[in-house]
Amino acid sequence: MDEFLPKAPKVVSTKPSKPGGGQDEFTGREGYEFGISAGRALASKIGDLVSPVATELKLPDGRRATLRTAKRRNTQWGCLNTLLERIDVVLCAFTPDGTNFDVWEIDAKVWAREARNASPGHKLHNKLTLLGKSGVEKFGKPFGSYSI
Which stretch of DSSP H or E encloses residue 71?
strand 64-71
Identify the burial level of 84 via C-beta atoms within 10 angstroms of its C-beta, where 0-12 means exposed, 13-18 middle and 19 or more buried: middle
**CA nearest neighbour of 114 among 87, 77, 142:** 77
Does the domain formed by 25-147 have CATH 3.40.210? yes
pLDDT digits (tens, 9 = 90+) for 73-82: 778 899 999 9
Q: What is residue 2's predicted lDDT score, i.e. its pLDDT?
A: 56
pTM for this predicted structure? 0.78
- Span 51-74, pLDDT tens digits: 877 789 999 999 999 999 988 877
Is 144 or 13 the better-scoring residue by pLDDT? 144
Interatomic CA distance for residues 11 and 133, integer angstroms:
30
